[in-house]
A and B are shown apart, each in its own frame.
Chain A
Amino acid sequence: MRRYRLGPGRRRRGRLSSMHALASQALFAAQTAQINERIATIRGWIINELAFPVIDLTFTAAGRTPLRLAARCEDWNSQPPSFALLSVDGTRLRTEGAPKEISPNPTNVFNAGAHPITGFPFICSAGSREYHTHTSHTNDPWESYRSGSGYDLGGILTRYWHAWLKGTA
């Protein structure tokens, strides 16, 4: 996706320093400026809220139960967004059973099990905070992705949308 001049913060003792809050907000604004009704209509997205630090979208497609994603992007892009998986009415998906919002799930990007930190179903793919903090993926840090192609905010949302669509007949 489009590159912006705001890059990684300086490393301190092997760790990334946090992005300054204003810089984070500016980067968020730049990367979400074109996520609007025009692209949403083409993709079947509903934009519920799009204001720093929140991106709240619903994916819809014929024959599918809509999936709502609420991303919190504080400290973007020192940290990846934290995603909550919701039903269309905003109720958080639970681990009991297989939520129809993320079924079928041929890519395994959506994990219906309990995340070790949040206890809720989560997005188990690079670009989500829940992936990079999962005990199985701590050796696959966000830092390896954050400057890569398609890991800006629009790119991450597009990746998860593509993954969700794969389950559509």
Chain B
Amino acid sequence: MKSQDDLAQAEEDLKQAETDLAAAKKLEEAAERTIETAIHDIREAEEHRPDAHHVAVEIATTSGFYPKDHPDRLPITQPVVEELERAAKALELTDTTGWVASVDKRTIDPKLSYAQNRLEGCVVIDWGPAEGGGGA
């Protein structure tokens, strides 16, 4: 009689162990997915991080920001105008003749590179039309 009870208990324990194992596997899979996401985020952040040779650039306009989600990591030797042209295309800005680019309210020269404009690190370029003439 005792051995039958032991067998029943052992079968119950086995069932419980199998349930626990299945739950643990699900947790392990979820943890792996979390790790994968974290690694992806870290790599993506590293891809856009500035360094001695790169700047992280965003273009700000009243029609929106470019890029939409994260700054572009660009060589400091690249002329600013290249990113402005990409922004104009993405934001559907049809005519930017006479627009002014500035960083922290300091006007920059788009024909020059980031380095030549003394820009480094994370850079937000404010871009829009210059003031018109005034006077009555």
Which residues on A are within 8 Å of B, measured CB to CB?
Answer: 1-3, 34-35, 38-39, 42-43, 61, 107-111, 113, 124-127, 134, 136-137, 148-155, 157-160, 162-163, 165-166, 168
Contacts and interface: CB of A to CB of B under 8 A. Distances in A.
Looking at chain B's contact residues, is the secondary structure mostly helix, strand, loop, or mixed? Answer: loop
Looking at A2, A107, A111, A165, which has the most chain B CB atoms within 10 Å of its CB? Answer: A2
Contacts of B130: 159, 162
B134 A157 contact: no
A163 B134 contact: yes
Contact of B129 (A3, A61, A155): A155
Given A2-B93, A162-B128, A154 B134 contact: no
B105 A165 contact: yes
Contact of A1 (B93, B124, B131): B93
23 contacts: A1-B61, A1-B63, A1-B93, A34-B64, A38-B65, A39-B65, A107-B131, A109-B133, A111-B135, A125-B134, A126-B132, A126-B133, A134-B136, A149-B99, A154-B62, A155-B62, A155-B128, A157-B62, A159-B131, A162-B100, A162-B128, A163-B132, A165-B105
A142 to B, nearest CB: 13
B100 A137 contact: no
Contacts, number: 101
A163 B131 contact: yes
Nearest to B97: A149
Contacts of B132: 109, 125-127, 159, 163
Looking at A34, A124, A158, which has the most chain B CB atoms within 10 Å of its CB? Answer: A158
Contacts of B136: 111, 113, 124, 134, 136-137
Contact of A34 (B62, B98, B129, B131): B62
Nearest to B58: A42
Q: What bracket does the count of chain B residues touching chain A fall in?
A: 20 to 34
B135 A2 contact: no
A38 B136 CA distance: 34
Contacts of B60: 38-39, 42
Interface of B: 60-65, 91-100, 105, 124, 126, 128-136
A153 B130 CA distance: 14
A162 B136 CA distance: 19
B44 to A, nearest CB: 21
A90 to B, nearest CB: 23
A2 B129 contact: no
Contacts of B65: 34, 38-39
Contacts of B100: 162
Contacts of B61: 1, 34, 39, 154
